[in-house]
């Protein structure tokens, strides 16, 4: 049974595969025509050629058919006229007087006419025109086709008194043409004068089988010519278009390779026509692009060297100015009020200048590839608290409350404490500038693979276009805003670079009137593989710049179950209550305050 079943399945498989292959071939052909200029041009050309050939063939067939029918009709009429003349002469020369002799004469006459007639003569038929005592028995050389002589034809011949020849096209059922149904033919009739027996009705049936076969052969020949012509035109067009498209495809492939970063890509110039001009133009464009890129790289390198050199050279005079400013600060009480104010301004600007130099030196180290991590096992809460302490004075001056909701257990990770502190400090400084008296929330989420530090404000917020530039160097969201921190536009760029040195990342969401939310993702061990989104204890759910929805939750996950987003005993009940109370206080500034797992937003 199993063997028979297997054989039946084997027999059915080719049929199914054949049908599938045809459909797949048709789909492939349609898709190829839609996406390929070469295939589309060839298909349109073949269709146009085939249409013209078919129209020409139809017109030719109509003309040939009409000409052939006219010629065949003329031949049939001429042959019938000869038979009429021959029959009339035989009747006139006959001396038969008895009925038997007359009948024999008519029989012989029909046989002779059939023998002497043309090759397409099917049958000869003779009837007495009048019913008299000397009437003859109807004679036919092919009784099978006697029925094609219609009553109207016989009536027309019988009523004729002038010996006219009548013609009627008919269809004949030839045994050899069963598949074609019927063969065209014709019936010709007239009256013979036979004084002894009266007038005789004379009919002849002609078949146009040979002419029909010739016409069919011509049709097949024209169809074959049309198909061959279409194929030949298609092949020629394919070769011609291929000769045009292939060089263009090579240029397009070279352009794609050039766009991917291979600036040494060139195309071979193997033509002297317009395509050769395209090839040479592409190579010239690539050379110019290479030259421009080299110039820009050189200018960028020069700029980086300039920034680095200037930053280093300015450290000495700024240090001297700092010492002088400190000395003046120590003796400020000895000066008048205007001088004391000047000393304060001088000290503030020197501090700002030192911060700018520090940022520029850090950027120059990044660009030179000298930046390195000093990673140690540390409790991530410590650099977060240090950053909050460093920004607390600025926040208090702007009446901004910074709420830290950190786990009550250590959050261990291998990090560069100085860089993590700088990341959080820069994010907090940015949040303070745009908080607009709203609170700032700092939280931590951790699992066995990653630590995520959340910094969120509920202030002015940014639109999507602004969010896309927040990590650009020397870029500010609102240059006209009064900034106590005196930012340089490098803080967020440095924060992102510090996170990337840890093999981590910083993601941001913001919306006008809803504030800004940063998530700093750091691996627990930066020596491991790059973090994926599934490794994070909390992450933004969508990709939209204003989508605040998150997956996961805050806290320290101590088990694989917790790593899927549940908050476990990393926070004490009092911490949880405090976090909920602080999150509720932030609800007044944002409507998006919870996600699917209960983590505040």
Q: For residue range 393-409, list pLDDT tens digits in order.
A: 888 888 899 999 999 99
Residues 290, 314: one domain? Answer: yes
List the single range of 28-37, 49-58, 447-456 with lowest mean pLDDT: 28-37
Q: Identify the residue with better confidence: 94 or 203.
A: 203
Q: How many CA atoms lie within 13 A of 81 on its CB side?
A: 8
For the chain, what is the radius of gyration of the CA atoms? 52
Q: Is residue 246 part of a domain?
A: no
pLDDT value for 565: 36
Residues 58, 180: one domain? Answer: yes
Residues 198, 178: one domain? Answer: yes
Q: Is residue 576 part of a domain?
A: no
**Is pLDDT at 572 greater than 50 in this prediction?**
no
List the single range of 9-13, 129-133, 272-276, 419-423 with lowest mean pLDDT: 9-13
Confidence of residue 558 (pLDDT cuts 50, 70, 90): low
Residues 82, 208: one domain? Answer: yes
**Is pLDDT at 384 greater than 60 in this prediction?**
yes
Residues 6+ apart with CB under 8 A from 551: 538, 539, 541, 565, 595, 596, 597
**Is pLDDT at 11 greater than 60 in this prediction?**
no
Q: How many CA atoms lie within 13 A of 225 on its CB side?
A: 14
DSSP 194-259: ETTTEEEEEEEEEE-HHHHHHHHHHHHHHHHHHHHHHHHHHHHHHHHHHHHHHHHHHHHHHHHHHH
Which CATH number fits the domain that encloses residue 131?
3.30.450.20
Q: What percent of the chain has pLDDT over 90?
A: 11
**Containing domain of residue 57, as a range?**
42-215
Which CATH number fits the domain that encloses residue 480?
3.30.565.10
Residues 397, 450: one domain? Answer: yes
Asked whether the beta carbons of 134 and 197 are under 8 A apart, the reply is yes
Residues 348, 380: one domain? Answer: no
**Is pLDDT at 588 greater than 80 in this prediction?**
no
What separation in angstroms does the CA of 456 have from each of 161, 419, 492, 590? 120, 19, 14, 11
Q: Tell me how many domains the chain contains.
A: 3
Residues 366, 379: one domain? Answer: no
| CB atoms closer than 10 angstroms to residue 123 | 22
Q: Work out the mean pLDDT of the chain and round it to a whole number.
A: 77
DSSP 272-301: SSHHHHHHHHHHHHHHHHHHHHHHHHHHHH
Residues 365, 399: one domain? Answer: no
Q: Is residue 134 part of a domain?
A: yes
Residues 273, 359: one domain? Answer: yes
Q: Is residue 243 part of a domain?
A: no
Residues 57, 197: one domain? Answer: yes
pLDDT value for 383: 93
Write out the two tokens for 347.
Answer: 């000290």
Residues 359, 493: one domain? Answer: no
Residues 395, 293: one domain? Answer: no
**Is pLDDT at 568 greater than 70 in this prediction?**
no
Domain stops at, among 354, 371, 388: 371
pLDDT value for 579: 39
Confidence of residue 8 (pLDDT cuts 50, 70, 90): very low
pLDDT value for 407: 92
Which CATH number fits the domain that encloses residue 295?
1.10.287.130
Model confidence over 113-153: pLDDT tens digits? 888 888 888 888 888 766 554 567 888 888 888 888 888 88
**Is pLDDT at 55 greater than 80 in this prediction?**
yes
């Amino acid at each position: 049974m199993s063997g028979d079943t297997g054989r039946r399945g084997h027999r059915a498989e080719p049929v199914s595969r054949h049908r599938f292959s045809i459909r797949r071939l048709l789909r492939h052909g349609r898709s190829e025509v839609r996406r390929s200029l070469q295939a589309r041009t060839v298909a349109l050309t073949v269709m146009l050629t085939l249409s013209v050939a078919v129209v020409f063939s139809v017109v030719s067939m109509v003309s040939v058919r009409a000409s052939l029918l006219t010629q065949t009709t003329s031949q049939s009429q001429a042959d019938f006229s000869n038979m009429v003349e021959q029959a009339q002469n035989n009747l006139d020369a006959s001396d038969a007087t008895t009925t038997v002799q007359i009948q024999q004469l008519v029989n012989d006459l029909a046989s002779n006419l059939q023998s002497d007639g043309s090759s397409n003569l099917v049958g000869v038929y003779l009837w007495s025109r009048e019913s008299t005592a000397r009437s003859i028995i109807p004679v036919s050389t092919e009784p099978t086709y006697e029925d094609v002589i219609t009553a109207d034809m016989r009536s027309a011949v019988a009523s004729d008194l002038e010996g006219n020849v009548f013609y009627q096209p008919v269809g004949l059922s030839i045994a050899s043409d069963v598949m074609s149904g019927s063969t065209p033919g014709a019936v010709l009739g007239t009256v013979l004068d036979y004084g002894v027996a009266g007038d005789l009705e004379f009919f002849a049936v002609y078949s146009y089988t040979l002419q029909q076969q010739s016409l069919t052969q011509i049709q097949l020949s024209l169809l074959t010519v049309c198909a061959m012509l279409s194929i030949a035109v298609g092949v020629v067009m394919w070769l011609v278009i291929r000769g045009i498209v292939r060089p263009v495809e090579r240029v397009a492939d070279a352009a794609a390779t050039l766009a991917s970063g291979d600036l040494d890509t060139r195309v071979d110039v193997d033509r002297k026509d317009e395509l050769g001009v395209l090839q040479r133009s592409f190579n010239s464009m690539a050379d110019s692009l290479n030259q421009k890129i080299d110039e820009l790289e050189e200018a960028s390198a020069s700029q980086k060297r300039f920034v680095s050199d200037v930053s280093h050279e300015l450290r000495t005079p700024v240090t001297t100015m700092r010492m002088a400013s400190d000395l003046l600060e120590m003796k400020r009480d000895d000066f008048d009020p205007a001088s004391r104010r000047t000393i304060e301004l001088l000290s503030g600007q020197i501090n700002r200048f030192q911060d700018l130099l520090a940022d520029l030196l850090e950027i120059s180290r990044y660009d030179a590839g000298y930046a390195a991590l000093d990673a140690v096992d540390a409790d991530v809460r410590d650099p977060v608290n240090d950053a909050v302490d460093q920004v607390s004075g600025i926040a208090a001056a702007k009446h901004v409350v910074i709420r830290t909701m950190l786990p009550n257990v250590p959050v261990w990770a291998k990090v560069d404490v100085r860089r993590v502190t700088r990341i959080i400090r820069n994010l907090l400084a940015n949040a303070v500038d745009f908080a607009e008296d709203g609170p700032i929330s700092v939280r931590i989420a951790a699992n066995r693979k990653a630590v995520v530090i959340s910094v969120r404000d509920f202030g002015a917020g940014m639109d999507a276009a602004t969010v896309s530039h927040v990590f650009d160097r020397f870029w500010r969201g609102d240059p006209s805003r009064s900034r106590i921190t005196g930012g340089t536009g490098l803080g967020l760029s440095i924060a992102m670079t510090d996170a990337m040195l840890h093999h981590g990342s910083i993601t941001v969401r913001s919306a006008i009137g809803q504030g800004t939310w940063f998530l700093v993702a750091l691996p627990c061990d930066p020596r491991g593989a790059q973090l994926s989104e599934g490794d994070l204890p909390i992450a933004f759910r969508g990709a939209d710049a204003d989508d605040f929805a998150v997956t996961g939750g805050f806290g320290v996950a101590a088990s694989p179950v917790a790593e899927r987003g549940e908050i476990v005993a990393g926070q004490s009940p009092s911490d949880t209550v405090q976090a909920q109370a602080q999150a509720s206080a932030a609800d007044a500034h944002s409507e998006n305050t919870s996600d699917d797992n209960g983590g505040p937003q």
